A and B are shown apart, each in its own frame.
Chain A
Amino acid sequence: MNIAVCVKRIPKTAEADLFIEKDGKDIKKDHLVFHLNDWDSYAVREAAILKEKYGGTVTVLTVGPEESKEVLTRCLAMGADRALRIEKPISSNGHLMAKILAQAIKNQSFDLILTGVQAEDDGYGQVGVALAQMLGLPHAAIVTHIEIDGERALVRRELEGGIEEVLELKLPAVLTIQTGINEPKYVSLAAILEAEEKDMEEIHLEKIGLTPNEPLDAAIDQVFFPPVGKMAEILKGSPEEVVTQLTEIIKKKKG
């Protein structure tokens, strides 16, 4: 079972103060720390688990700048065997990402291609599905369980309202992995340092028949903070006073 996992290096923004770049098209990132996208870490772990069960190799791919090597190293420490970095285009979006990955993957032989459901930074959730379409492979999105039975994969996927769908796909197939499918292990710093010794392949877009200036079918025009709503009211005072005020408000609204 040869598995490819597509991963992304993303900035951690949960606790950070965010500012918008002057051109208004992105957030400032120079003061942020970067990490492997959370969904992708579940995908890499799942690939490692499948490799343990069924044998084969795990290849991780990323499209990104030089710094992206750090997430590939992490993936190698998590059990991947091969790593490939594709230099990023000048500007990109989810659709172009899928195109680049499809070009890189199409001439290689994989039984399973995994991506995370979405990336923490832009949250598009499109790359995996678009990639499947471009490769002409069956796919399942938001996968929470995988079993392999010969040439087929039996997967469960999460639907709205707590419903699960069970699907059977013919391999090779593309699956987008949901968090919670497994429990990612801790990747120790010692394991990462050991993985730094492993080989990593790096290529430019020309190598896969593309250019750094690929046209985009959609581009970000403007990013902005959500406008502050008017409905929020912050109650002030001691816990007792706040409770009294809150009770009054609830009584009033109840009508």
Chain B
Amino acid sequence: MKIDPKTFIQDYHLNVCIQCGICTGGCPVKFRSPLNMRRLVRETFFTANPSLLFKRPELWACTTCSTCTLRCPAGVKNVELIVGLRSILTHQGEVPSTVRDAFENTFLHGNPWGRFRDRRADWAKDLGVKILGEETAETLLYVGCAPSYDPRVQNVSKALVKIFQKVDLDFGILGKKESCCGNEIRRMGEQTLFKKLAKDNLALFKKFGLKKIITISPHCFNAFKNEYPDMSIPVQHYTQVIADLIEIGRLKMSKGLETHTTYQDPCFLGKQNMIFEEPRKILSSIPGLNFIEMDRSRERSFCCEGGGGRMWAEGATEGTRNGEIRIKEAVALGAKVIATACPFCLLTLEDAAKISGLTDQIVVKDIAELVSEAM
């Protein structure tokens, strides 16, 4: 879609807004920034000069969690409006320097942190994982950038490999041929780079004749499932795969994890893709695990602030981070473990536990790690 401020009203359905305020009411950063979605929609609708809307740091506070869009009774495309405004800024080059670096790094190195491409699969060394191109497999485990490079999230990738190997799942990874999925790149407004990543990745998927793709991150899952044009290969998030394996009795967990565990719904898995049951089913299947639900869960889950490019656009917000609020909620509930199924949630929540000084009361774990421990 061509992005033009003159057609914002039609493109994002701004004319149907009834100014009910549900968008602002549900916004997870409304207490942390001047971002006011209801006002932004109104202003964009009435302005004769859209460029006046552009130079606002709060446009970068949005996590694109999509609570506003999903709750809007009229069908306003609020998140796409933010992405549209960011796209104009990106085309003008007016983006925060950290976002600029993330774009340039992704273009050059295939990951937003500018880590060396040849080291992308270092985490998998000695794990006996097939690298597609060297060996063949019909199922791809698309690892993603954070699970490839971040030492904390690499644990999740390793745990998942251990689980898949235990059940003799025939799968491969792309190794250093893998590039960023582009989900956050698109949400930060670099539409052309996103299209290039999608085109290159799709060509790679086709080249290896893949029949199925499994992702670690809900963000990659979302990009492949909802944003890639002509994506004909079925995509699953790993929680769907593990839930199926448990269901058919192929994955058995014998060790008990006697602990009170709650779950943070990642926005890109839950709200945006309606995968609520599978993670809970997995957690409830772990022997001894006592699953407890937080008040704000499922569609009402509270965004950790890691999405929509917030991993690279720090600032534009003030006050207590959502992650800290979430950790405190989990501790108050009596949870000893807060589980999640997203690299960004994992990182933001773990940071929050450290900042809050609550690491002796609660640990943050990915579901894959818990399953691997319970096997």
Assess whether B108 is in contact with A35, with CB atoms less than 8 Å apart. yes
Taking the closest CB of chain A, its distance from the CB of B48, in whole angstroms, is 25
Residue numbers in A under 8 Å from B94 (CB-CB):
185-186
Q: Which of A17, A35, A188 makes the CB contact (< 8 A) with B116? A: A17
With an 8 A cutoff between CB atoms, is A12 at the interface? yes
With an 8 A cutoff between CB atoms, is B337 at the interface? no
Q: Which of B95, B97, B193 makes the CB contact (< 8 A) with A189? A: B193
Given A12-B108, A33-B109, A183-B97: A189 in contact with B192 (beta carbons within 8 A): yes
With an 8 A cutoff between CB atoms, is A31 at the interface? yes
Assess whether B114 is in contact with A186, with CB atoms less than 8 Å apart. no
State the CA gap A16–B115 with chains docked (Å): 8
Residue numbers in A under 8 Å from B108 (CB-CB):
12, 33, 35
Q: Which of B91, B97, B114, B117 makes the CB contact (< 8 A) with A188? A: B91
State the CA gap A188–B90 with chains docked (Å): 6
With an 8 A cutoff between CB atoms, is A223 at the interface? no
Assess whether A189 is in contact with B93, with CB atoms less than 8 Å apart. no
By beta carbon, the residue of chain B nearest A35 is B108
With an 8 A cutoff between CB atoms, is B184 at the interface? no
With an 8 A cutoff between CB atoms, is B103 at the interface? yes
State the CA gap A35–B114 with chains docked (Å): 12
Given A33-B108, A33-B109: A16 in contact with B192 (beta carbons within 8 A): no
Given A33-B109, A189-B196, A193-B192: A15 in contact with B93 (beta carbons within 8 A): no
Tally A residues with Cβ within 8 Å of B: 18
Assess whether A186 is in contact with B109, with CB atoms less than 8 Å apart. no
With an 8 A cutoff between CB atoms, is B6 at the interface? no
By beta carbon, the residue of chain B nearest A187 is B93
Residue numbers in A under 8 Å from B192 (CB-CB):
188-190, 193
**Which of A144-201 touch B at CB < 8 Å?**
183-191, 193
State the CA gap A250–B183 with chains docked (Å): 48
Taking the closest CB of chain B, its distance from the CB of A238, in whole angstroms, is 14
Residue-wise interface mask of B (92-131) relative to A, using a CB-CB cutoff of 8 A (1 in contact, 0 not): 1111010110011001110000111111000000000000
Q: Which of B103, B104, B116, B190 makes the CB contact (< 8 A) with A15? A: B116
Taking the closest CB of chain B, its distance from the CB of A27, in whole angstroms, is 14
**Chain A residues packing against B (C-beta within 8 Å):** 12, 14-17, 31, 33, 35, 183-191, 193
**Chain B residues packing against A (C-beta within 8 Å):** 90-95, 97, 99-100, 103-104, 107-109, 114-119, 190-193, 196
